[in-house]
Amino acid sequence: MNDEFDSEKTSVITSDTFKLRIAEAGKAPPCLVLLVGPANAVGRQWPIENDNYVVGRSIQAQISVDDGSVSKSHAKISLESGAVSIIDLESTNKTIVNGSVLTPLSPKILENNDQIKLGNVIFKFLEKGNIETVSVAQTYEKANIDPLTQIYNKGALEHKGIEYFKKSQLLDVPFSIITFDIDHFKKVNDTYGHSAGDYILKEVAKDINGLIRGNDFFARSGGEEFTAILLGGDSKQAADVAERMRTTIANREFNFQGTQIPITISLGASTKGRADHSWLDVFDRADQALYKSKEGGRNQVNLA
């Protein structure tokens, strides 16, 4: 039997995709991958590119994992002369590497595929240039990126909402949410076809994503609904950004296969107040403000 079809032998992939992965892996730094932990973070990886990274429950930790079994500052990852080591920072529930409990404050050099247990959380260490780094990143991306618009999806929004809300509380900075709908989107699909609708979704996402600052977050939160989180953005900044979003789309010419399609969006915005206990409190008010914009004639911004 031809070796290519022999199930007992490993076939060699020579596709351009595999070659690309090899090339990407060659540039990949060492990293930690979360294997067991909060469901919305499993598969996430943290590249190790600088000298020191604190791993812990604290939102200020460079590698932050929201799990009660992990100490606020549980362990430290260090990179020196190409070698990566881990040190237990006298944590409550210990740091365990491949089943062996580490002596606190005593460094342990990590090797490829080492498993690191912090409380109930488990990481895997991947050395520099490991092709698995690319595969894991692609898998995590597929779970968090909307395939049509190539921005974050609702699951990623829920994770970031929790994370950014906690950061705003810890750092005492404003936290605002803007949510918007594409006006009369069903009519677009019915009139011009679903391919035109997909084109509109992709173009709107691309244009609005271009307005988002580096420390903010933007996701597709529903069929034709999108949400932005502004960390450090107060109510005035949220209003200004929302109005910029509105005018950007209203002034944009959407041309699909030679046909110009008029598109506007309706927006709602809200900022965290003292009585808010979660990011969903802020989101719900922004959503209510969005519906006021729709009821008020669309193509407008309302603040909660």
**Strand, helix or coil for residue 283:** helix
Model confidence pLDDT, tens digit, residues 223-249: 999 999 999 999 999 999 999 999 999
Give me 145's structure tokens.
């990126």
Please list the active-site residues.
224
Q: How far is CA 33 from CA 79, 148, 261, in A?
A: 16, 26, 44
Confidence of residue 137 (pLDDT cuts 50, 70, 90): low
pTM over 0.75: no
What average pLDDT does range 114-125 have in this prediction?
96
- Mean pLDDT, the chain, whole residue set: 89
Write the DSSP assignment of 190-245 as a string of letters: HHH-HHHHHHHHHHHHHHHHTT--TTSEEEE-SSSEEEEEEET--HHHHHHHHHHH
Confidence of residue 130 (pLDDT cuts 50, 70, 90): confident
Has residue 148 got a pLDDT over 80? yes
What is the C-alpha to C-alpha distance for residues 71 and 104, in angstroms, rounded to an integer?
A: 13
| Nearest CA-CA partner of 232 in 272, 286, 185, 204 | 272
